[in-house]
A and B are shown apart, each in its own frame.
Chain A
Amino acid sequence: AQSVAQPEDQVNVAEGNPLTVKCTYSVSGNPYLFWYVQYPNRGLQFLLKYITGDNLVKGSYGFEAEFNKSQTSFHLKKPSALVSDSALYFCAVRDGGGGYNKLIFGAGTRLAVHP
């Protein structure tokens, strides 16, 4: 069965420092991977996706993610964190077994960026 793990409940970073939010996955077949962000009382906003091709994916708001097949990881990164990046981040994988648009989400990682 497809699954996604986000090993950290919370990540704390000082403003201006680089940030990494970790995600590992387990899928059969080719992984379709996504990152979403959720601000309080809001829905999820799409950040970026990996389908195929270049292992470094660039997304919205200066975020990028590195796909590593050997380590089955898809970590989210940003070179310089902003206080406004503080939010809940979700990694997701398409459920290839179920097909279509069913996403399986990780538990989420709360990012806190301190001034």
Chain B
Amino acid sequence: KAGVTQTPRYLIKTRGQQVTLSCSPISGHRSVSWYQQTPGQGLQFLFEYFSETQRNKGNFPGRFSGRQFSNSRSEMNVSTLELGDSALYLCASSLTSGSGYNEQFFGPGTRLTVL
């Protein structure tokens, strides 16, 4: 079974631009979560989507948004990029959402650099 895929793997943008990252979960998984990883803040939860609905949101500004499609694929968007948005963005998929005890499987991440 194919794992979680994320595209693109690397991105370089300039301040003020916007970016869209894509995530394809493991086949059959309906929950997709996004995390930001930085050296200073570590791994931080951005949001989770399940059945095209946002189930939970982390403490990030409104510039960070996402969506999920009917095939469970998910995208996240960051508008008006700031230098501090440079990070590794990780997507994770899970079978379900409500129980919380299913492990999440992570993709390789998208490395975003903002210049």
Query: Which residues on the B side are within 8 Å of A105 (C-beta)?
Result: 42-44
**Interchain CA distance A44-B108 in the complex, whole Å:** 8
Is B106's CB under 8 angstroms from A36's CB? Answer: yes
The reply to whether the CB of A115 lies closer than 8 angstroms to some CB of chain B is no
A4 CB to closest chain B CB, in angstroms? Answer: 10
Interface residues of A in 62-115 (CB under 8 A from B): 90, 92, 94-96, 98-108
A36 CB to closest chain B CB, in angstroms? Answer: 7
The reply to whether the CB of A45 lies closer than 8 angstroms to some CB of chain B is yes
Answer whether A101 and B94 are a contact pair too, CB < 8 Å, given A32-B101, A46-B104, A49-B101: yes
Query: Which residues on the B side are within 8 Å of A14 (C-beta)?
Result: none
The reply to whether the CB of B31 lies closer than 8 angstroms to some CB of chain A is yes
Interface residues of A in 45-63 (CB under 8 A from B): 45-46, 49, 51
Interface size, chain B (Cβ < 8 Å): 29
Is B97's CB under 8 angstroms from A100's CB? Answer: yes
Is B56's CB under 8 angstroms from A102's CB? Answer: yes
Interface residues of B in 3-51 (CB under 8 A from A): 4, 6, 31, 33, 35, 42-45, 48, 50
B1 CB to closest chain A CB, in angstroms? Answer: 14
- B56 touches which one: A36, A41, A92, A98 (CB < 8 A)? A98
Interface size, chain A (Cβ < 8 Å): 27
The reply to whether the CB of A34 lies closer than 8 angstroms to some CB of chain B is yes
B104 CB to closest chain A CB, in angstroms? Answer: 6
**Interchain CA distance A95-B48 in the complex, whole Å:** 12
The reply to whether the CB of B105 lies closer than 8 angstroms to some CB of chain A is yes
**Interchain CA distance A70-B71 in the complex, whole Å:** 44
- B98 touches which one: A34, A36, A95, A100 (CB < 8 A)? A100
15 CB-based A-B contacts, threshold 8 Å: A42-B109, A43-B4, A43-B109, A46-B103, A46-B105, A51-B101, A90-B43, A94-B100, A98-B56, A100-B98, A101-B48, A101-B55, A101-B102, A103-B104, A105-B44
Known A99-B56, A99-B98; 12 more pairs at CB < 8 Å = A41-B108, A42-B109, A43-B90, A43-B109, A44-B106, A49-B101, A90-B43, A92-B43, A95-B45, A100-B48, A100-B97, A103-B43
